[in-house]
Chains A and B, each alone.
Chain A
Amino acid sequence: MTDPIVEAAYVVGWLPEAWFWLLFGILAIYLVLDGFDFGVGLLYATRETESDRETFHAAFGPIWKANEVWFVLFTTVLFAAYPVAYANLLSRHYLLVFLLLLGLILRGVGIKLRKERDDERWKRYCDYAFVSGSAISPLALGVFIAEWAFGGVPAGVALLGGVALVALCFVLGAAFLALKTRGTLRTEMATYATNGTLVYLALFAVAGGALFGVNSIRLPAVGIAAGATGLCSVGIVTGSRLDQYYVLFGAAAGLAVVFVGFLAGGLYPMIDPVAGLAIRDAVVSPQTLNVTTAMALVFLPAVSIGFAMLYSIFEGVADPDNGY
């Protein structure tokens, strides 16, 4: 150890910050993709006929597992780039994390096991698991994110974050299903998207108001988030009215991106404000991050291509006979 060790440096000076934005970019992608999966699960509770239910399953059956992987990617990237923040955040929200995991387990098992038996009661239990998992997961995730970004807020406000995320997933699910269905089902879904957006806006306003007293919230950030949220909401309502379903879905996805952007903007340049950790405190050493960057540059584009391919193979209207 007496050799003078040449301290390796980040390949570019701003690499630790770049990973911060990449991390939240991954979270945004996850929220859009699995958000509509959760939304499908929530809307599933409104379906009474078997054919509607099977249409729903067919709509997202082939893709939800791949969507869920973005969450594993988010967690492991947090671990890989900022291990101290990962350790602090997860151990500090111990029961909440396990509640989130329980939600994901219920959801996954409910979807998968339903078709394994042709038995009414069995299917009903699987449906319970699917719907409750689709509600618990975004609720717990929303509370976790609110606690993370605005640590120390009253429990009620954090819970509001969770409910807001559930509403957001509801909107995303309705918008996604409007793309994947036809006829009256489609019209119904577009209406759900509009109504869900109104609920989300109300929650957003209440949460925004409650957070206003918190020091870490900056006025311009709230303004931008509110403006962008309003713009997306207009897109949702317009898309739904004019039968422009890609506009509808795009605007709903925009809503999720704004949600994550607001949180990330609020955090920056901290990664875990409660533990007093800034990005630079928590980031791994230069050489490690450089290796991780090299791997990401190769494999993230590959993942994107794979996703584009998967979605193009299963594009178009959901056919209940070719699903679960």
Chain B
Amino acid sequence: MIDPVLASRLQFAIAITIHILFASLSVGLAPYLVYFTVQEVRTGEDRYRKLREFWTKVFAVGFVMGTVTGIPMSFMFGTNFSQFSTVAGELIGGPLSFEAKMAFFLEAIFLGILLFGRDRVSGRFYTLSAFFVALGAWLSAFWILVVNSWMQTPRGYEVATNGGTEIVRMTDPLAAFFTPRFPWMFVHMQNAAIISVTLLVAGVAAYFVWQNRESETWNTALRVAVGVLLLTSAFQVVHGDMYGRHVADTQPQKFAAMEAHYDTERGADLHIIAIPTSLEAITDPRADNLYTVSIPYLTSYLASGGDPTAEVTGLDDFEYESPPVAIVFWSFRIMVGLGFWFVFLGTWGAYERWRGGLRDSPRYLIATMLSAPLGFVALVTGWYVTEVGRQPWLIQGVLKTSDGVSPALDGTEALLTLVGVSGSYLFLLGIFLCIVRRLVTAERDDVVDEDDRSVPKWVIADD
């Protein structure tokens, strides 16, 4: 039978990979809903009503999928990682309950109004509902990242004994909630969610503009998304660079895995592009065995924040086993590579806009359509770097993953739920994609018929 530790890890990994897509969809789309709703109520223009209606539908399905896939997560700490829950419950349980109290209720209550209450409440209250749904999504991410960043850089605790078990006890709530990692992770993750949704909005808008280049509604959406993409993607690259330095300081082992850096050396190079020269180099990447395009001294420079000859510790010189280097190394490269692609796409869009019109560049529209899912790919691979890179630790330096799993869990039960959870989560993802496709198809029929009377001339003049 399968090893319960492996099964539990796989199960959690698959569940979180799919859940995180829906969660970031909520986080990233919520500000757009607020923007469209505010514009609709303020200007009364039809294009904003259409955008608000379309994206609210996507948001609602994504939100239900988010709760449906999210509720099991709050149980899996107990079912599969009971040792972790026992050891770290004082630090983990509180924030999770705050998330429920503050975020879930806010979202659930006001989403009901957003979906069913347009005729029952005033325009102002309706706008406020959109705002509260957005706030809920962001608060939810806030508390989850409080928990996760504590697992990366634990603070504000002491190790104590309770009923014969070693547990961590909270000594300083503020230090425990706002660990050194938290601001980095929160900013990077929220911005990643916005970038992902921006690419989705841009891709869908590009598709509709492709169908009907006169569509005022979707040209508006495309223009907004291109502007947002330019700013957020550029910010992400700069922020990511500084974040990397912070990781090198606080989790040097993870940093070494990101660079497949085995030997401790001074003046380490940074491998911008790595191409595996053999099959083995994919599963076991070692900087020496790859065909790389590298910048000399840059890893040392980045890790130390300015010293090109600084020493970077290699994986071989850590006391603990290495994380699965291949996953961390390649995930990191996919994320960073996509990050640069997004900056290029944003810049290109800004240039096309400046030149006269996004809708006149078929090449840009195609590139944007194809890039629609890529933000989520970058986001998930980034999450893998964070989570897989922390291994063998579940809580950095405190508890190993293998020691966190429920001791009495047997392989058969674990395998059963692994299959069940993976199957149902993948099924939900598939259903979600089908529904979004149907929404897009239905909207396309409208867009193609759109005789563009949606925007009265006087409103344009007024703009």
Contacts and interface: CB of A to CB of B under 8 A. Distances in A.
Interface of A: 1, 61-63, 65-66, 68-69, 71-73, 75-77, 79-81, 83-84, 86-92, 94-95, 97-98, 101-102, 104-105, 108-109, 112-113, 116-117, 281, 284-285, 287-288, 291-292, 295-296, 299-300, 303, 306-307, 309-310, 313-314, 322-323
Given A61-B116, A90-B82, A97-B75, A284 B90 contact: yes
A98 B422 CA distance: 12
B98 A83 contact: no
A79 B86 CA distance: 9
B78 A87 contact: yes
A61 B421 CA distance: 26
Interface of B: 60-61, 64, 67-68, 71-72, 74-75, 77-80, 82-83, 85-86, 88-90, 92-94, 96-102, 104-106, 108-109, 111-113, 115-117, 119-121, 158, 160, 162-163, 169-171, 173, 406, 408-409, 413, 416-417, 420-421, 424, 428, 431, 435, 438
A314 B96 CA distance: 29
Contact of A105 (B68, B115, B119): B68
Given A83-B93, A287-B171, A292-B94, A94 B409 contact: yes
B86 A87 contact: yes
A86 B89 contact: yes
Contact of A102 (B85, B105, B409, B424): B424
B98 A65 contact: no
A291 B163 CA distance: 23
Question: Which among A72, A81, A284, A310 has the greatest number of chain B C-beta atoms within 10 A?
Answer: A72
A65 B92 contact: no
A38 to B, nearest CB: 15
Contacts of B93: 76, 79-81, 83, 86, 284
Given A66-B112, A322-B119, 10 more contacts: A86-B89, A87-B78, A94-B79, A94-B413, A102-B420, A105-B424, A288-B169, A295-B97, A296-B101, A314-B120
Nearest to A77: B97
Nearest to A303: B105
A66 B109 CA distance: 6
Contact of A79 (B92, B102, B413): B92
Question: Which among B85, B86, B100 has the greatest number of chain A C-beta atoms within 10 A?
Answer: B100
B171 A291 contact: no
A124 to B, nearest CB: 16
Secondary structure dominating the interface of B: helix
B89 A84 contact: yes
Given A79-B97, A288-B90, A91 B79 contact: yes
Given A86-B85, A322-B116, A300 B101 contact: yes
A87 B417 contact: no
Contacts of B88: 83
A122 to B, nearest CB: 10
A303 B101 contact: yes
A324 to B, nearest CB: 9
Contacts of B105: 66, 69, 73, 303, 306-307
A71 B75 CA distance: 11
Contacts of B80: 91
Given A92-B408, A288-B170, A313-B120, A295 B101 contact: yes
A291 to B, nearest CB: 5
A299 B160 CA distance: 30
A303 B79 CA distance: 28
Contact of B85 (A62, A79, A310): A79
B90 A83 contact: yes
A285 B169 contact: yes
Contacts of A287: 170-171, 173
A76 B97 contact: yes
Given A62-B117, A91-B79, A284-B93, A76 B112 contact: no
B427 to A, nearest CB: 9
